[in-house]
């Protein structure tokens, strides 16, 4: 069967509309309303009630298809007149918002909908992609609850001032860790943003710990990327409660880590000087102690690090 798209495009009245079957597919499980949405025929969609919930072979009902074509006027009409189908999911467990461009979600956000259901899987993407003004509109109408904020920090559209302004709206969630068990200090360090690091330290974001899976540590991370301004700030905040014997998954304590860096700078010397004697005899997974690593240096030069221990 060959479908004459021209006849669909030329539909203008109810009389024209009655020439088509509304409740049966016209071609490959595409119903008439599918084509009306594709051809942006909102005026015809308003003439009668269509089985908008029906999916075509691509798993797209009326909401999904309008979202795919980012047709906001048609979507607004469907949201108002077919509310019972708003939260339908297809076989891929998708909702219609999964097909919308991020900026177009903002154009719909003032609708009275269950945005937890519609945006639950898209919060990170919105945090990462929207600009500041769009995020303010989002939060005015919908503020995600109990969700980590890491992708806000990594959003290249935002200045540090804007990021901090948004974080202040979510201060009770600042200590939430992401799926990798990382606190907000990690993306701030990787971004090398000292003002953001200072803000997070003032607000007591977790910094004195190892992540569960990969045993990353904020102080070590800052030292690793040579972000020494952040490393010094972190060290000054945690040094009075620092556990020198804690290790990563390779059983390396802080002394192992610093000595394997082959760069004993001022910060490293301060940390190593404060390591208790037990730290120097700890074995890593290769049965190597920090003392053995120190011997590989100029021992006469660095003997003072272990004197009297």
Distant-in-sequence, close-in-space partners of 93: CB < 8 Å, separation ≥ 6: none
Residue 1 confidence (pLDDT): 54
Q: Is the pTM of this model over 0.75?
A: yes
Answer whether residue 116 is part of any domain.
no
Task: Mark whether 234 and 263 lie in a shared domain.
Answer: no
Query: Looking at the structure, do residues 99 and 139 belong to the same domain, yes or no?
Result: no
Average pLDDT for 269-287: 96
Interval 113-153: pLDDT, tens: 999 999 988 999 999 999 999 999 999 999 998 899 999 99
Domain closes at, from 208, 238, 268: 238
Question: Is the pLDDT assigned to residue 3 strictly greater than 80?
Answer: no
Residue 117 falls inside a structural domain: no
What range does the domain containing 50 cover? 1-111
**Confidence at residue 298, expressed as pLDDT on a 0 to 100 scale:** 87
- % helix, strand, coil for the chain, step of 5: 50, 0, 50
**Same domain flag for 280 and 222:** no
CA atoms within 13 A on the CB side of 256: 21
């Amino acid at each position: 069967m060959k479908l004459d798209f021209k006849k669909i495009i030329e539909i203008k009245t109810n009389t024209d509309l009655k020439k088509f079957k509304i409740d049966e597919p016209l071609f490959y499980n595409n119903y008439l309303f599918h084509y009306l949405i594709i051809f942006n025929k909102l005026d015809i969609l308003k003439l009668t009630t269509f089985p908008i919930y029906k999916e075509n072979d691509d798993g797209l009902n009326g909401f999904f298809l309008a979202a795919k074509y980012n047709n906001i006027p048609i979507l607004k009409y469907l949201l108002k007149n077919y509310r019972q189908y708003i939260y339908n999911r297809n076989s891929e467990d998708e909702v219609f918002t999964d097909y919308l461009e991020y900026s177009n979600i903002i154009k719909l956000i003032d609708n009275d909908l269950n945005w937890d259901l519609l945006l639950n899987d898209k919060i990170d993407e919105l945090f990462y992609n929207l600009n500041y003004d769009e995020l303010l509109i989002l939060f005015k109408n919908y503020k995600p609850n109990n969700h980590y904020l890491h992708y806000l920090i990594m959003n290249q559209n935002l200045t540090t001032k804007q990021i901090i302004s948004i974080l202040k709206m979510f201060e009770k969630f600042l200590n939430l860790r992401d799926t990798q068990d990382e606190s907000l200090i990690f993306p701030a360090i990787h971004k090398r943003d000292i003002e953001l690091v200072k803000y997070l330290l003032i607000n007591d974001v977790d910094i004195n710990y190892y992540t569960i899976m990969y045993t990353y540590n904020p102080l070590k991370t800052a030292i690793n990327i040579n972000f020494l301004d952040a490393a010094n700030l972190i060290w000054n905040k945690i040094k009075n409660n620092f556990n020198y014997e804690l290790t990563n998954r390779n059983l390396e304590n802080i002394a192992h880590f610093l000595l394997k860096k082959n760069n004993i700078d001022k910060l490293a010397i301060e940390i190593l000087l404060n390591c208790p004697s037990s730290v120097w005899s700890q074995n890593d997974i290769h049965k190597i102690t920090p003392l053995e690593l120190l011997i590989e240096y100029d021992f006469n030069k660095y003997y003072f690090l272990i004197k009297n221990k």
